[in-house]
Structure 1
Amino acid sequence: MSQIPQETIQQVLAATDIVDLIGSYVQLRRAGSGFKGLCPFHNEKSPSFNVTPSRQSFHCFGCGKGGDAIAFIREYENLPFTDAVRKLAGRVGVPVIEVESDPQADQARRLRGRLLDLMRETTAYIHELLLTSPDAQHARDYLKSRGFGRDMAERWSIGWMPDNLRWYTDWARERKFTGRELVGSGMAYLKDENDPRSGIGIRFRNRLMFPIRNDIGDVVGFSGRQLVEDKRSGKYVNSPETPLFKKSNILFALDRAKKPILHEKAALLCEGQIDVISCHEHGIEQAIAAQGTAVTSQHARLLKRYTKSVVLCFDADSAGFTAAEKSFRELIMEGIAVRVIELPGGDDPDSFLKAHGAEAFRGLIANAREFFDFKIDRATASGAMSHAESRAAIARECAALLAVMSDTATREIQMNHLASRLQMGISAIKEVTVTALKQPQRREHPTEASTSPTAVPTPVDRTVGLLCQLALSSAEVQRLLSEQYETLHEAGEFLAGIPLLERILAGHPDPAAPAAVNAFLGHLQEEDRLALNTLLHADRPHEDPVAASYETMSMLAAKVLLQRDARNKALLNDPGLSRERLTFLLEEGKEIQRLLDGVKGRFIVEDILPPAPKKPVAKKEWKKRDK
């Protein structure tokens, strides 16, 4: 639960113009009293994304996403609720003062703060060791052998974890950090995972330490480079997944590269930290790297905030090519264009820069090939294009990648280009692409968020939904429905969505203040929020909400009676009924019928009584009727 007061959230929402906010991310055009545009959350040709100024909310009729300004920032920027509120608050100048309202949330916040303190102070400690300790001379020599000096180490806060691990544990103890915090940060591990009292071991030993920062510059993990060969351990050891460090969300050096990426209108995605650092040291500051070569959907979404173009620069071997293809798949699903640099054999960005300089490397970036050209050129060089059968196999591989493209116009262009490159007819390319499009698409590297089921709106009966809509649009309707609370509660046995309506009546958000309504919606479960947001955008506001509520309550009563009648008739079919039970059910049936007769004729709603089947009318009868 958020620890930001409800009043502050309402102030933030009241001070935010949702049209201005969303218009800074999405191109909007006026449509009646609202605005429309192409949805930023799914790919579409015709705009189904609506922004309603009077409600200060948005809704997409294509993918179902919607909500207030906070919901938009949460979804678009992939931020937690409180971070989204803070971002908006900073935008509109509303101060945010958090309150202690949830012990668990407070504990998690304090733990995160302690872990960030530990990582920050660890970075400073091991950096000082690298610069000054006599025992770190071999680490300084290694950096020198790679062409890096003290200045680079200081700019990137490079450190050295000593071989004698007592140095680090004694330092941590002096700083009042606990063993549990060391384990929680990933700097240490339990010697026996099943026994918290087994003692801890330090994860890094005699390694050159590269701090890994999130996109706002906090140190959240480390990558430790081996300095003395040890076959029992890898060349690089990275921090494990922790409350701070989720490798699927982190791009190395993004905190430094954000502005250069915006300026260059493209990101340079490399394989490792040394390559990225070398690029930055040579003035190519749009360089970043994933943790390993695996680009995830979260990485793609993160990059989409800053650019629509990525240049891949991986090693020129089979592993690098596989990584490039997987990265292309993730990036293109987010609508990011992908080009590829192919370095000379045996080179990586660091070695190429040292041998040929920054201008030559910029030339490689400028001449980077479109991904499909890179793929076909590589297949040609390996002899895989020499026969029609092998070209058809390449076509199927390309079609599988075309199928995940989010932009259909770009897909069409690429199909024509591939037909020319593969010496095949365009109809053949289209055929294999259409076949690939029919296959279910999946992410190569699912994240925690993407593997969990997508939230499904809470089922709400149409009539109950109309009452929810009316209650959120009129304080008088809220008062009237509150007086019918018992009737509504009993209807919950037959109609879906009554608990959601009861929640509205209990919270009584002020319909005259969109910020109050949106703040109320923001604190609901995701399923409930989606359901209400869809209802609020489904129909135009009623001119007379009170009259509509009386009419809708009558509809609700009729639906409940019909449900009771159907249940009663089903129970009467039970051959084992006692005489007393039979008599009771017959009397109840008469009462239900009497009540139904009272509501019939007051209104006609197909949602309550299904229309009678229409008898086909012959053309001759049409003429008679016309006369």
Structure 2
Amino acid sequence: MGLIPKETIEQVLASTDIVDLIGSYIPLKRAGTGYKANCPFHHEKTPSFNVSPSKQFYHCFGCGKSGNAIGFVMEHEGLLFMDALKKLASKAGVHLEQEPDDPRARAARKSRGRMLDLHREAAAFFHQQLMRNPDCKHGRDYLKSRGFGAEMAERWEIGWMPENAQPFLAWVRKRNYTGKELVACGFAGLKDDQRPSAGLYVRFRDRLMFPIRNEIGDVIAFSGRQLREDPRTGKYINSPETDIFKKSNVLFALDRAKKAILKEQTVILCEGQIDAIACHEQGVENAIAPLGTAFTAQHARILKRYAKTAVLCFDADSAGIKACERAFRELVPEGLSVKVVEMPEGDDPDTFLKKHGTDAFREKVATARDFFDFKIETARSRGRMESAEGRVEIGRECTDLLAAMDDHSARDQQINVVSSLLGMTSSTLREEIGKAIKRAATQASRPSYQREDERSAPQIIVPVPLDRTVGFLCQLALSSPQAQHFLGEQFESLHEAKAWVEGVGLLEKILASAPDAASSAAVNTFLAELKPGEQMALNAQMATTDEAVADGLQAAEQSLGMLSAIVLQRRDAAVKSALKEPGLTPARMTELLEEAKEIAALLRWTGRSQYDDELPRETIKQEKKWTPKWKK
């Protein structure tokens, strides 16, 4: 956040109404002074996602996700902070002025900017080659053979990398890009990793170049389609992973499809880029495709932000059926229902659309079969159900797939379907599912060095401990200017409490920063600067009520008195415990008795006299009146 002044971030937040923002992604319903919805970040049937117009922040009581407008866009669209801020600033008409950052951050940002520039400019270069280079006639002919014209190539900025890489390298030099940058972006590789001086090779040769874009439309990689058959290389070659391109985080055409997916709450998952493009060109705009790799859990998490149902539209061959099962295993744990389009043998979405038209394809999607119905009927049509062994094998496969479902009600519904189709009792199927779940749990409990998938597992964020009274004081400091000013003068009382009560350090951090409590934008900007665990704790505290405290100053005075009493009680318990320790020296005994005497006096003053019976008599006799500093 060091690149953007705090005042600018506050301006963006002040110019963005979080209700309007979130309402553009998911349907909100009025609930008292706020709004509610089913949480877009986890599967639920009863709304626990709350949006506060007064505080301009959201909180889910189900999964704990919370934050401001920038945080919502980051979470919902999978964007970095700067990308989310730019998106909101653009909508709000706020100009982002950047201030100097530390050298390493500046270098990293410059490198990322150069990589994005190179990809964007390369996409334009490749597109020009496709449209104008006489040597690319075979590329243009191929697109025509697939039913695509120049308009489609322009809409998707499809390009061509020449067989002879020299024109591309000359263009790179003219643009002042370096060989090191070509390697970093995946356009080229070292001929010899041990001898960089051996030179570079260009990765793509005589291929149609399909730009791969992130969710906000930046070109971050390319997929090259072979034009002349060569058994030594694959039909498609994607850019290698780079600092700006991670295959498991990217879905082809999602930048174009996400609005339609949100509107229809359904995503059509195709097997390849051409299929996704064909759908969009025919007006089916909620179609996307993975990048020639297996569908991943991260892909499923991304789609969960936009859709409730995934319709798989893969090839009808054995590989396509296996791909359906892999996608199902990733999608259902995220709460998405899965359906499968039954494509005619030998057809894919592209060929089907060209043969039968858009209406017929839409009808196919509308009548897509539930996953298990499709799986079992496909097995039956292929003769796998004709033997007892085959039925047992199908039953085992279905059991493992059902065990992957986290939604118990959805699983129960599918159990009835599967047991009926397989001719087995639902109780038997449930028993086998229970065994499968235990096997999966055993697998998950293995040490991390035995589990490759755990190496990239997301870190679990835990809220920092926050005492209830301290939490309320934090809330007052962030919502009442008078309370914040008063608490800011209670340094000694708070410093003493820090050793006895959890969360006082976080309260001190609020008071040290002193965000404008009258401005939700200033408060949310401050919260965004905190560590994730601190944000989580404060957001949960602030989400407990949406009603402003009538008299913040009075509430702060009373709550600080309660905090002082809590500190005294805990000091009292510690002293009593110490007095019971064996082998105390006379000096230590005297010291503890003096402290007990002081605590007894303070407890008497605060009305905690129920503790007096446990204190030594001589301590109570010498009690002195005391007025806490915050009352003087």
Which TM-score tier does this pair reach, normalised by the shorter chain? 0.7 to 0.9
Q: How does 1:587-606 map to 2 (within 5 A)?
A: 587-601=590-604, 602=606
SS at match of 1:115: helix
Aligned partners of 1:270 and 1:424: how far apart in 2? 33
Aligned partners of 1:50 and 1:283: how far apart in 2? 35
Which residue identity does 2:175 align to in structure 1? R
Instruction: Give the structure 1 partner of residue 96 of structure 2.
Output: 97
Which residue identity does 1:79 align to in structure 2? L
Q: Is 1:270–1:287's contact at 8 Å kept on the other side of the alignment?
A: yes
Instruction: Give the structure 2 partner of residue 510 of structure 1.
Output: 516
Q: Is 1:312–1:339's contact at 8 Å kept on the other side of the alignment?
A: yes
Q: Is 1:396–1:433's contact at 8 Å kept on the other side of the alignment?
A: no
Q: Deviations over 1:157-199 (max 9, x none)?
A: 3322223323222210111112232222221234455776664
Q: Is 2:464–2:503's contact at 8 Å kept on the other side of the alignment?
A: yes
Q: How does 1:68-147 map to 2 (within 5 A)?
A: 68-91=68-91, 93-103=92-102, 104-144=104-144, 146=146
SS at match of 2:289: strand
Instruction: Give the structure 1 partner of residue 530 of structure 2.
Output: 524
Instruction: Give the structure 2 partner of residue 458 of structure 1.
Output: 464
Aligned partners of 1:194 and 1:548: how far apart in 2? 71
Return closer, same or farther for 1:18/1:267 CA change in 2, 3 Å cut-off: closer
Q: Which moved more, 1:535-544 or 1:496-505?
A: 535-544
Return closer, same or farther for 1:359/1:456 CA change in 2, 3 Å cut-off: same
SS at match of 2:118: helix
Instruction: Give the structure 2 partner of residue 470 of structure 1.
Output: 476
Aligned partners of 1:447 and 1:213: how far apart in 2? 26
Q: How does 1:398-409 map to 2 (within 5 A)?
A: 398-405=398-405, 407-409=407-409
Q: Percent identity?
A: 53
Aligned partners of 2:454 and 2:90: how far apart in 1? 29
Q: Is 1:225–1:236's contact at 8 Å kept on the other side of the alignment?
A: yes
Q: Deviations over 1:231-261 (max 9, x none)?
A: 4433322111223322223222233444555
Aligned partners of 2:363 and 2:548: how far apart in 1? 58
Instruction: Give the structure 2 partner of residue 274 of structure 1.
Output: 274
Matched, 1:565 2:564: no
Aligned-CA RMSD value: 3.7
SS at match of 2:601: helix
Q: Which moved more, 1:253-262 or 1:368-377?
A: 253-262
Aligned partners of 1:193 and 1:549: how far apart in 2? 65
TM-score by length of 2: 0.82
Q: Deviations over 1:80-122 (max 9, x none)?
A: 223333444455x341323224234444333333222211221
How big is the shift at 1:361? 4.1
Which residue identity does 2:588 align to in structure 1? L
SS at match of 2:342: coil
Aligned partners of 2:90 and 2:145: how far apart in 1? 45
How big is the shift at 1:221? 0.9
Which residue identity does 1:96 align to in structure 2? H
Q: Deviations over 1:567-604 (max 9, x none)?
A: 8569x55x7x9xxxx45533332233123312435356
Matched, 1:241 2:251: no
Q: Is 1:297–1:446's contact at 8 Å kept on the other side of the alignment?
A: no
Q: Is 2:603–2:609's contact at 8 Å kept on the other side of the alignment?
A: no
TM-score by length of 1: 0.83
Q: How does 1:315-354 map to 2 (within 5 A)?
A: 315-354=315-354
Q: What runs of 5+ residues in structure 2 fail to find an aligned partner? A: 445-450, 615-632
Aligned partners of 1:278 and 1:17: how far apart in 2? 37
How big is the shift at 1:393? 5.2
SS at match of 1:415: helix
Q: Deviations over 1:449-487 (max 9, x none)?
A: 972212111223444434323332433443343333245
Instruction: Give the structure 2 partner of residue 615 of structure 1.
Output: none
Aligned partners of 1:190 and 1:182: how far apart in 2? 10
Q: Which moved more, 1:450-459 or 1:187-196?
A: 187-196
Which residue identity does 2:398 align to in structure 1? C
Q: Which moved more, 1:518-527 or 1:188-197?
A: 188-197
Aligned partners of 2:539 and 2:263: how far apart in 1? 37
Return closer, same or farther for 1:94/1:230 CA change in 2, 3 Å cut-off: closer
Q: Is 1:224–1:238's contact at 8 Å kept on the other side of the alignment?
A: yes
Return closer, same or farther for 1:158/1:513 CA change in 2, 3 Å cut-off: closer
Which residue identity does 1:536 align to in structure 2? M
Matched, 1:58 2:58: yes
Return closer, same or farther for 1:388/1:49 CA change in 2, 3 Å cut-off: farther
Q: Is 2:261–2:267's contact at 8 Å kept on the other side of the alignment?
A: yes
Aligned partners of 1:403 and 1:585: how far apart in 2? 63
Aligned partners of 1:328 and 1:37: how far apart in 2? 26
Matched, 1:586 2:589: yes
Aligned partners of 1:505 and 1:489: how far apart in 2? 12
Which residue identity does 1:189 align to in structure 2? G
Instruction: Give the structure 2 partner of residue 614 of structure 1.
Output: none
Q: Is 2:11–2:94's contact at 8 Å kept on the other side of the alignment?
A: no
Which residue identity does 1:467 align to in structure 2? L
How big is the shift at 1:290? 0.8
Which residue identity does 1:598 align to in structure 2? A
Return closer, same or farther for 1:254/1:72 CA change in 2, 3 Å cut-off: closer
Q: Is 1:269–1:310's contact at 8 Å kept on the other side of the alignment?
A: yes
The number of equivalent residue pairs is 599
SS at match of 1:44: coil
Q: Which moved more, 1:428-437 or 1:361-370?
A: 428-437
Aligned partners of 2:175 and 2:465: how far apart in 1? 53
Which residue identity does 1:498 align to in structure 2? V
Q: Is 2:493–2:564's contact at 8 Å kept on the other side of the alignment?
A: no
Q: Is 2:41–2:304's contact at 8 Å kept on the other side of the alignment?
A: no
Return closer, same or farther for 1:307/1:426 CA change in 2, 3 Å cut-off: same
SS at match of 1:3: coil
Aligned partners of 2:485 and 2:283: how far apart in 1? 65
Which residue identity does 1:481 align to in structure 2? L
Q: Is 1:56–1:69's contact at 8 Å kept on the other side of the alignment?
A: yes
How big is the shift at 1:524? 0.9
Matched, 1:552 2:540: no
Aligned partners of 2:34 and 2:145: how far apart in 1? 62
Q: Deviations over 1:517-568 (max 9, x none)?
A: 2221111111110011122234676653233233233134325524753785
